[in-house]
Amino acid sequence: MSWESTVTYYRIINEVVRERLGGLHSARCLLYSVDFHEVEACQRSGDWDAAGRMLADVAARLERGGADCVVICTNTMHKVADAVCAGTRLPLLHIADLTAEELRAAGVSAVGLLGTRYTMEEPFYRSRLEDAGFDVLVPDEADRVLVNDVIFKELCLGVVSDASRRALVEIIEKLSARGAGGVILGCTELGLLVRARRYLRPPFRHYGNPRPPRRPVRAGRGVGENTMLPSVTVPGLSDGQCVTLIGMAGAGKSTVGRAVADLLGWAYVDTDHLIEATYGARLQDVTDALDKETFLDVESRVIQSLRMQRAVLATGGSVVYREEAMRYLASLGPLVFLDVPLGIILERIARKPDRGLAIAPGQTVEDLFREREELYRRWCTCRVIGGETGIGETAQAVINALDGRAA
């Protein structure tokens, strides 16, 4: 209910109206902004009757102003929803009912609930969802205190902390591990810290033992598009291993990785796609929603959840920032650095700018290239020059490098 979050949902309301109606349309709405200091004082003292009278008076004012319905733009103050309904003849759109509709449409039956301690601990919100058939999970006591403190001591005062964002993501992961198929950001201020809809899928499942594909592929010059390639054998590379491609975004890890997998007769896995599947969102949206350090932690945990063999892995360019992720990949098998000149990288990124780069504010792609090159060289088992030959030739160069016939 603080004005910090009012700015966000007012913008969202108008964006949705413009999206649906087009042109210069905006929302017709009456917005009554209360003094949050007075509301919080009622909450802290437990004087919910006074808080109810305050919001009932606001609802009556909105009715006189010509409103068609009432929305309480806060989760916690739905504790006094009955008092608000008693103060007006207008219908109240209850936030828990609308949330239930969204959860049902998403196929979520068990959901985590984050919010103020009142929302997480008292029945006015939880029981309404439970009555609608949902299992509601809340954090343990220590995490409930942490979330409540972040809301009142930081977000309501306009403080958005990367450390608190990481802590909130960890709490979300704990709820997922307990079986939550989605998480409700049950406080309007929490949307200032992490974006909604990014955690609708339970994160960090183990991905295991895919079967090697045998499908028609295009592997390069002299090979027809529908030719089934015989698999090749690389001495020293066992069926229990994986081959991992590392390198900059735009280096061609995905396209070359598929071709290498086809040459070996192995499975192909793109770890960026696993992150997208984990969060039910494009990689660009995930990197937009998280600060760089939090995204790197997420990427590392996804990598370490892999349980695979006979697979070629194409990784995100930022994976080298987390030593634990790189050590895990090295334990699976050889790491191939696909080294492509900066000019080609810049050209490819310009053609597809929404790649989901894990980049800090103020950094350029050139900065990333120089920063990461040393890390790629440090971790790689072998290096292959790419970007100036066809996909099939580059894939064969990878095989040769693994076989020790090229450096």
Position 202 in a domain: no
| 142 in the same domain as 36 | no
Instruction: Identify whether residues 67 and 140 lie together within a single domain.
Output: no
State the 10-residue block means of pLDDT for the chain, 407 residues long: 78 86 91 91 93 94 92 92 92 89 84 94 91 93 94 89 87 89 88 58 35 34 36 68 93 92 90 84 83 88 88 93 94 94 89 74 86 93 89 92 66
Task: Give the pLDDT of residue 232.
Answer: 59
- Residue pair 250/349 in contact (Cβ under 8 Å)? The answer is yes
Are the C-beta atoms of 407 and 383 separated by less than 8 Å? yes
Residue 200 maps to a domain: no
Are 380 and 302 part of one and the same domain? yes
Among residues 192, 215, 242, which one ends one of the domains? 192
d(CA 372, CA 319): 10
* Rounded CA separation 228/247 (Å): 28
E strands along 256-370, which residues? Answer: 267-270, 306-307, 311-314, 335-339
- Give the count of domains, the chain: 3
Go through the chain and tell me how many residues it has.
Answer: 407
- Residue 349's domain comprises 207-402
Q: Are residues 223 and 361 in the same domain?
A: yes
199 inside domain = no
Decide: 206 and 305 in contact? Cβ < 8 Å: yes
Please give the Cα distance from 33 to 1 (Å, whole number). Answer: 8
Question: Residue 381: what residue type?
Answer: T
Compute and round to an integer the Cα radius of gyration of the chain.
26
State the pLDDT at residue 233: 63
For residue 269, tell me if it sits in a domain.
yes
CATH of the domain at 235: 3.40.50.300
Please choose, from the candidates 111, 179, 184, 108, the residue with its C-alpha nearest in 3D space to the C-alpha of residue 147: 184
Last residue of a domain, one of 192, 219, 236: 192
* Measured distance CA(5)–CA(8) in Å, rounded: 5
CATH for 171: 3.40.50.1860
CA-to-CA distance for 212 and 308, rounded, in angstroms?
11
Query: What's the rounded Cα separation, in Å, for the pair 271 and 316?
Result: 7
Q: State which of 44, 65, 86 marks the end of a domain.
A: 86
* Residues 355 and 245 both lie in one domain: yes
CA distance 369 to 371: 6
d(CA 357, CA 352): 11
Specify the pLDDT at position 119. 94
Together in a domain, 393 and 323: yes
Domain assignment present for residue 135? The answer is: yes
State the pLDDT at residue 231: 53
Shared domain check, 369 and 263: yes
Structure tokens at 38: 């007075």
Q: Is residue 407 in some structural domain?
A: no
In terms of domains, do 127 and 50 share one? no
Residues 291 and 233 in one domain: yes
Give the Cα separation of 311 and 269 in Å (integer): 7
DSSP 33-67: ---HHHHHHHHHHT-HHHHHHHHHHHHHHHHHTT-
Q: Is residue 131 within 8 Å of residue 159, measured between CB atoms?
A: no
Domain identity same for 184 and 222: no
Catalytic machinery residues: 74, 187
DSSP per residue, 187-252: SGGGGGTS-TTTTSS---PPEE-PPPP---B--STT--TTBPPPP---TT--TT-EEEEE--TTS-
Spell out the residues 6+ positions from residue 332 whose beta carbon is closer than 8 angstroms to its own: 241, 242, 244, 306, 308, 309, 313
Say if residue 367 is in the same domain as residue 266. yes
Residues 302 and 392 in one domain: yes
Structure tokens at 356: 């989901």
